[in-house]
Amino acid sequence: MGLLIAGAVVIGLLVGSFANVPIHRWPNGGTVMQPTRSACPACGALIAARDNIPVVSWLVLGRRCRNCAEPIAVRYTIVEAVTAALFGATAWVWGLDPLLPALLVLVWSLVVATAIDLEHRIIPNRLTLRLPFVLAPLVVFAAVMDGAWIDLRRAALAAILVPGVMFALSEVFRLVRGQVGIGMGDIKLAISLGMVVGYLGALELVVFAYATIISAVVIAVALMAVGRARLASRIPFGPYLAVGALVPILAGEPAVALVGLVLGI
Ligand SMILES: [Zn+2]
C-alpha cells in the first residue's frame, strides 16, 4: 500500500509536470505534440532534461532559468505539487481498485481544467471532448472487473443527465438574470464528471452537487469577508466543479453518510 501511494506520487509529479504543457498551449490553439521540447517562456532556450525534473529543478535552479536567469513562474511547481498530492491521496483512498486508472485520468484532467479556467475562463474542447472517450473504456474496464453492471448503467445515465441538468440550469439563469452563469466548457466537462461520479453511486452524485455549490458559496463568503466580493464574480465555475467531484472521490464514505443523514435516509 505504501509502495502504491509512493508510486502514485512519483507518477503525479511526472504527469503534473506534463500537465503544464497543455495548460499553456491549449488556450493558444497549440498542441501537446508540437513543439516536442519545453522552452523557457522568457528567452526561448530549450530546457535540458536535467533542468526539467518536477519541483526539484525549480528548487535547485533557485527558481530561475539557467540560460537567461528570468524567474520561473511558481505556478508550474504548484501544478506539479497539487497533481502529486491528489494522485497520492487517490491511491491512498482507493488502493489497487480497478477504477483507479479512470480516477487518476479524471484527477489529472481536473488540474488542467482548473488551471486553464482560472487564467483564461475557458475549458478547451481539446480536454472536454476527448476526456469522455478516454474515460469510458477505463470505466467499462472497472465494471467488467467488478461485475458492476448497475453501476455502469448509472454512469452512462449520469454522463447524459448531469450535463443536461446543468444546461437547463444555465438556460434558466440566462433567462432570469440575463447573463451566462455556467459556460459550455463546464457543461462539456460535466459529461466526464457525471460518468465517473455516477459510477460511484447515486448518493455520490448528490454529494457532488452539494460540494460544488458549497465550495462556490464558501469562496464567495470568504472573499466578501476580506472585502474582495467583486473577485468572487470573476472566478469561473470549473474549479468549483473540480472540487465538487473530488469530494465524493476522496471522501466518498463520510460525505455520503453525511448526505444520507441530512436527507433522512
Ligand atoms: Zn530563459
Report the pLDDT averaged over residues 105-133: 95
Q: How many angstroms does the Cα of residue 48 sit away from the middle of ligand 1? A: 12
Q: Report the candidate in 77, 78, 86, 124 with the shortest Cα–Cα distance to residue 106.
A: 86
Residue 1 pLDDT greater than 70, yes or no: yes
Q: How many angstroms does the Cα of residue 46 sit away from the middle of ligand 1? A: 8
139 shares its domain with 72: no
Q: How many angstroms does the Cα of residue 65 sit away from the middle of ligand 1? A: 5
Mean pLDDT computed over every residue of the chain: 89
Q: How confident is the model at residue 257 (pLDDT cuts 50, 70, 90)?
A: confident
pLDDT, tens digit (0-9, with 9 covering 90-100), for 74-83: 888 899 999 9
- What pLDDT sits at residue 107? 98
138 contact partners, CB below 8 Å, separation of at least 6: 99, 101, 102, 105
123 shares its domain with 72: no
Neighbours of ion ligand 1 (CB under 5 A): 40, 42-43, 45, 65, 67-68, 70
123 contact partners, CB below 8 Å, separation of at least 6: 113, 116, 117, 183, 185, 186, 188, 189, 238
Q: In 3-state terms, what secondary structure has residue 243?
A: helix
Q: Which of 65, 96, 127 is the last residue of a domain?
A: 96
pLDDT, tens digit (0-9, with 9 covering 90-100), for 20-75: 888 988 888 888 877 777 788 788 888 887 787 777 787 777 778 888 888 877 88
Q: How many angstroms does the Cα of residue 61 sit away from the middle of ligand 1? A: 12
Q: How many angstroms does the Cα of residue 47 sit away from the middle of ligand 1? A: 9
Q: How many angstroms does the Cα of residue 39 sit away from the middle of ligand 1? A: 8
DSSP string computed for 38-86: -B-TTT-PBPPGGG--TTHHHHHTTTB-TTT-PBPPHHHHHHHHHHHHH
194 neighbors 159 (Cβ within 8 angstroms): yes
130 shares its domain with 73: no
88 shares its domain with 179: no
134 shares its domain with 259: yes
Q: How many angstroms does the Cα of residue 24 sit away from the middle of ligand 1? A: 16
159 shares its domain with 253: yes
Name the more confident of 161 and 183: 161
Q: How many angstroms does the Cα of residue 63 sit away from the middle of ligand 1? A: 11
8 shares its domain with 44: yes
Report the pLDDT averaged over residues 122-151: 96
- What pLDDT sits at residue 265? 66
84 shares its domain with 105: no
pLDDT, tens digit (0-9, with 9 covering 90-100), for 209-233: 999 999 989 988 888 888 877 776 7
CB-based burial label for 62 (10 Å; 0-12, 13-18, 19+): exposed
Q: How many angstroms does the Cα of residue 71 sit away from the middle of ligand 1? A: 8
Q: How many angstroms does the Cα of residue 94 sit away from the middle of ligand 1? A: 41
92 shares its domain with 110: no
Name the more confident of 97 and 236: 97
113 shares its domain with 235: yes
Q: How many angstroms does the Cα of residue 262 sit away from the middle of ligand 1? A: 54
pLDDT, tens digit (0-9, with 9 covering 90-100), for 104-118: 999 999 999 999 999
**Count of domains forming the chain:** 2
Q: Which of 96, 111, 131 is the last residue of a domain?
A: 96
The residue segments making up the domain with residue 88 are: 1-96
88 shares its domain with 1: yes
Report the pLDDT averaged over residues 175-193: 87
184 shares its domain with 80: no
The residues pairing with 71 across neighbouring beta strands, listed in sequence order, are 64
CB-based burial label for 16 (10 Å; 0-12, 13-18, 19+): buried
Q: How many angstroms does the Cα of residue 120 sit away from the middle of ligand 1? A: 24
Q: Which of 70, 96, 122 is the last residue of a domain?
A: 96
